[in-house]
Amino acid sequence: MDKAVKILKSEPDLIVSLFIAPIIILILIIISPLIRVRVGHIHCDRIGHFAMNTELCYLERKFKPKSSLLNTVDLFYLPRYPSCNLTLENLWRKKLIILPRILLRPISLIIRSFKFLEKFHASSDNSDRDIFNLIDFYPTTLSFSNEEYKRGKKELEKFGLDHNSKFICIMVRDSAYLNSIYDASENISLQHDYRNNDIQNFINAADTLTKLGYYVFRMGSKANKPLNMKNDMVIDYPFSKYKSDFLDIFISANCEFCITTGLGLDAVSNIFRKPIVYVNFAPLETIHITSKNFLLLPKYYYNKKLNRMMTLKEIQDSKTFGALNSLIYHECDIELIENSSDEITQIVLEMHENIICRNKENRDEFSQEKFWNIFMSNPSLNSSLYGKIKSRIGNNFLMNNQWWLD
């Protein structure tokens, strides 16, 4: 209730509809034996949550037994307007009933304040973890209209692509985006700098992909430094005059596969069922395991006190196994080491061979099984993060780092 009061004080325009909200809730209670109307919000301020949380919310309705959702209607509102991406918003409006915030937010605040009303609550503000493996089980929820698809292909021509060109997305996180939305005094960017990566380590992979016939988009709305590549098939999208909210979504949704260090935009590729290579992944506890289309390459953990790299078991036993703040790594004298350019190129080629070319020979199944047995046997694992194991650690990474599994 205290939170609801604070929200109402900070959003005085809601006062008008606040007075009619209890009447509407009473009506919802009265008609609930015939039809249950649930009210909630969509997490639309960050693109990763806007994509993945909403997708899982939508799919979980299908996943639940039909009887539990019989005659149920969900009404959503956007707590922030405009949302972080208008194109993604419009795609969701085709699938969900989204009504004005000023009408539904007071109703939602009241419902969330009283436990006996919780059955009238619907929200996508749940989780972005696919613990029921729904992404692999269900087809893509969102789709572009014929006009939108033609528009996207036309936009890609500006970068030199033709209608049949295949392309890959590379998404490498640095501090540019958080620095642009938070004040420096808040130290938000510093807390997350353990997730930052050097784009230069991806140049060889990008160049290799172009030799295989792919165009490569280095994605992102902002970036600290350009790629500086002399390759017309590699597009440095953050520095392009053609970038747009529409292309952010269209490119991410239509790539052959996505290479990412773990940032919000890769969720768009995920909900459009594109294969994903997760590179330089940290913290290890939050590794993505729930799709057969995922290949994983974790960062190395270097212990400064021991003056050496840490094994998988040592990482699991440390405070940094699930650490989401750079300060924890500093306090433990542990440095995260990025994957090398060669390692990144190897796992990208593995994705090309395994997923695109359907060539799954020469896999080291013994090391894969050993890794997952060690990983999942840790008693401190947060079970809310995991579903059925379907993903794979990079084959070359395991073959070249057997010490990691000791």
User: Does the pLDDT of residue 47 top 60, yes or no?
Assistant: yes
Residue 328, pLDDT score = 94
Give the chain's mean pLDDT: 90
Predicted local confidence at residue 209, as pLDDT: 98
Which pLDDT score, from 0 to 100, does residue 144 have?
97
| Secondary structure of residue 150 in the 3-state scheme | helix
- Interatomic CA distance for residues 133 and 129, integer angstroms: 9
Say if CB 75 and CB 111 are below 8 A apart: no
Q: Is 2 buried (19+), middle (13-18) or exposed (0-12) by CB count in 10 A?
A: exposed
Task: Average the pLDDT over 94-101 and give the result.
Answer: 95
Residue 90, judged by CB atoms within 10 A of its CB (0-12, 13-18, 19+), counts as middle
- The answer to whether the beta carbons of residues 237 and 260 sit under 8 Å apart is no
- pLDDT band of residue 380 (cuts 50, 70, 90) is confident
Chain segment 237-251, per-residue pLDDT in tens: 999 999 999 999 999
Question: How far is it, in rounded angstroms, from Cα 173 to Cα 224?
Answer: 10
> What does the pLDDT read at residue 8?
64
Is residue 283 within 8 A of residue 276, CB to CB? The reply is no
Looking at 48-62, 146-160, 269-283, which range is the least confident one? 48-62
Average pLDDT over residues 93-118: 94
Coil, helix or strand for 147?
helix
Distance CA 355, CA 276 (A): 10
Given a cut of 80, is residue 261 above it in pLDDT?
A: yes
Strands (E), 26-105: 36-41, 72-77, 97-98
pLDDT for the residue numbered 61:
82
Which pLDDT value is given to residue 2?
62
335/397 Cα distance (integer angstroms): 19
DSSP 356: I
Instruction: Check pLDDT > 70 for residue 184.
Output: no
> Quick one: pLDDT band at residue 116, thresholds 50, 70, 90?
very high
Per residue in 306-334, pLDDT tens?
999 999 999 999 999 999 999 999 999 99
Burial of 44 (0-12, 13-18, 19+ CB in 10 A): buried
